[in-house]
Structure formats: structure tokens, C-alpha cells
Amino acid sequence: KAGVTQTPRYLIKTRGQQVTLSCSPISGHRSVSWYQQTPGQGLQFLFEYFSETQRNKGNFPGRFSGRQFSNSRSEMNVSTLELGDSALYLCASSFFPLAGGNDEQYFGPGTRLTVT
Amino acid sequence: AQSVSQHNHHVILSEAASLELGCNYSYGGTVNLFWYVQYPGQHLQLLLKYFSGDPLVKGIKGFEAEFIKSKFSFNLRKPSVQWSDTAEYFCAVTRRSGNTPLVFGKGTRLSVIA
């Protein structure tokens, strides 16, 4: 079956702009999580959506937001971009929610965001 | 706060050497444990996972990991590494109950030289 897909793969934005990233989970998966990966901080959890509801949110400012649609596809939005937002943004999907579910996550290739 | 520590930032080994990468987590309770690998230019993929049962788990490509509850550890091992094992390895933990996200360690970069 097809894996997790993310669009776009690469993005260059300038400070102050906003950006929307998209993630399509594996067919049948209802949980989608987003992570920010940087060389200094590693992988940091942004948020998780399950059946269109945000189940958990990481320690990121309110400029980072997300949503999930009825077909389980998810988007994340970053407003008022800062230079420090440059990172690889990873999406992962699973059938069950992360916590409490004995399940594993499948990761997409990521969107490389560069803020200039 | 929950945390996951990977002791080695960068490990360099010769082919056929044995590998052990350390992973410790900071919180108690019942946990699910994972090792993920990220090969150069590729996306994260699961190496192995532990949910319950035998604390010695075997994964893909000859990797295994041992869960030692008393030490809050989940170390990754491979008896004989190959050049193709060059990658970044991430340990991740989530609590089985409650509503906690998956917490990753900062990763260990493994370079295997011929």
C-alpha cells in the first residue's frame, strides 16, 4: 500500500510569511502526527490528530497550528515565519492513537522548509 | 518532563564490528519503546519495537534491542555492522496509558567504514 505522502517536499519562504504543509496518511490510518526535525533539537513533537480531533500538542508557540479532515488528511500551518522555523517537518500516521495504542508510526519523507 | 537520552552523538565503527547504542528514558509506568533509523536521504523507518513480553526484541536487518525495566534502558545492538548500516538512529518512547506523545532521543549518527 502507498506510504505517507507529504507536499510540498521543499519550500522556501521569507520571514513574516505563512506556510501550509500537507500530509496524506496511509489508507485506513486515522492518527496523524507532526514533528519538527532540526540538527540541534532532533525530532520534536508538534501535535497529533485522531479522527479530526487534536489529541495532543507539543511545546510550540501558537503560530503552529494544524487540522485534520474527514478523510484523515492533515495540514499544518505556520504563521509569521521566523528564521528558526527552518527545519524538516515530518508527518507520521498510525491506525491507533499514539498514547494507549500498541501501534507504530509510519513516517513520510518530510517537507524541507527554509526561511530566509 | 519526559525525556529520552541517547548517550552517543556519533559512533564510528569498522565493518564487522559489533554495535551497541544506548537509550535511556526518564519516566516510569508502562511504556512502548521504538528504534527508528534514517538512512541518508531517506525517511524514518521502524527498526524494531517493544510493547510487552520477551524483553529481547528482534528487528529488521539483524538488529535487536533489550528492554531492561530496572535501568529504564532500551539499548540497540547488532553483532556485525555493514557499510550499509551507516545512518542516524533514533530511540523513541511513549507511555502506554495517559495521553503522552512519542518522545524521541536526539539521535546517534553511525558511520561504518570499510
What confidence tens digit (pLDDT) does each residue in B64-103 have?
999 999 999 999 999 999 999 999 999 999 887 767 788 9
Q: Is the pLDDT of residue A34 over 80?
A: yes
Residue A60 pLDDT > 90 = yes
Put simply, whether A62 touches B (Cβ < 8 Å) is no
Look at residue A89 in the predicted model and tell me its pLDDT: 98
Residue A101 pLDDT: 61
The gap between the terminal CA atoms of chain A, to the nearest Å, is: 37
Beta carbons of A108 and B43 less than 8 Å apart: yes
Span B47-51, mean pLDDT? 94
Mean pLDDT of all residues in chain B?
93
pLDDT at B28 over 80: no
Choice between A98 and B12, residue whose per-residue pLDDT is larger = B12
Strands of the sheet with A74-78, listed across from one edge: A5-7, A19-24, A74-78, A64-68
Cα–Cα distance between B105 and A81 in angstroms, integer?
Answer: 26
pLDDT attached to residue A104: 85
- For A15-71, the DSSP string reads TT--EEEEEEPPTT--EEEEEEEETTTEEEEEEEEETTEEEEE-S--TTEEEEE-TT
Q: Highest mean pLDDT: which of A46-60, A91-105, B93-107? A: A46-60
Q: Give the residue from chain A lying closest to B106, CA to CA.
A: A42
The CA distance from A3 to the nearest CA of chain B, in Å, is 11
Inter-chain CB proximity B99 and A55 less than 8 Å? yes
Can you tell me the mean pLDDT for A55-82? 96
pLDDT band at residue A99 using 50, 70 and 90 as cut-offs: low
Chain A's closest residue to B97, CA to CA, is A100
How far B87 CA lies from chain A's nearest CA (Å)?
14
pLDDT(A114) > 90? yes
pLDDT band at A100 (very low <50, low <70, confident <90, very high): low
Q: Do B102 and A108 lie within an 8 Å CB cutoff?
A: no
